[in-house]
Amino acid sequence: MKIACAQFIPTFGDAGANAERICEITSVSAADLIVFPEAALTGYCVSSDAEAKQISIPSTHASLQQIERLLVDQGSYAIVGFAELDGEKVFNSAALFGPNGRIGIYRKTHIPFLGIDRFVTAGCDAPIFETPFGNVAIAICFDIRFPELARSYALRGADLICVPTNWPEGAQPSSDYICPARAVENHVFIAAANRAGEENGFRFIGKSKIIAPSGKILASAEHDQETVIEAECDLFEARSKRVVQKPGEYEMDLWNARRPELYGTLTANS
């Protein structure tokens, strides 16, 4: 399959304009799956709970329906981040769309003290979505800092972890080191789509990446400008957790070598 990451500059607080831009990018892409940044539909950098609610949209919003219709017509998949308003609660969410409509929504589970995340409710579920190409999971921005989430996804059969993100200045390690490490340690593909440009005093670093289970960088945006990166990926490469460098002499079984009885503290409350 061909995976793409769209590194673009959302218009703050204008879901309609951002949906138009997302549809424009998607309509000219030959990718089977295109990943858009965190909060791509709504913007991210707010300074109050009232402002967070003001830019947030319900999961039934017309902008999401517009994107859904395009993906159905085009027969491809896309992941789109948005600030989701559900009653009085705001979630940092990402929706997965496909040829049969909306497949599901993931709500960010690990919440930093930054931007709209200061005012959101943490999600409580980490679903894996089945597609004809393989099993897809979503981790939004700060989520990828936690090896437990990525490992949980991999143990449950995820082949690809998509990372819609808003990496600002100072977050370079997430692109340079953390995403490649998550790919290698779990032998999965990683597709990280960061935004570009500035928003309400924050500048974003770009540096979107598509990474193979080996850690090889398949595609990378080594700048902070708008661009779309693409890579051909066979997600079933992630299924075998036995890495063979030299048969019979240098092999690593990433799953059978695990020692779960030693890891209890990883899930204990601090």
- Enzyme catalytic residues: 38, 108, 141
Strands 209-211, 217-220: pairing kind? antiparallel
Q: How far is CA 132 from the centre of its chain?
A: 19
> By the 8 A CB rule, do 70 and 63 touch?
no
Q: Where are the alpha helices (DSSP H) in 128-199?
A: 147-155, 172-173, 179-186
| Residue 261 to residue 27: CA distance in whole angstroms | 49
What lies within 8 Å, CB to CB, of 221 at 6+ separation is 5, 7, 194, 206, 207, 208, 209, 227, 229
Q: How crowded is the C-beta side of 245, counted as CA atoms within 13 Å?
A: 6
* Whether 243 contacts 252, CB under 8 Å: yes
Question: In this structure, how many other beta carbons lie within 10 angstroms of the beta carbon of residue 168?
Answer: 21
- Residue 165 is which amino acid? T
Residue 73 burial (CB count, 10 A): 10
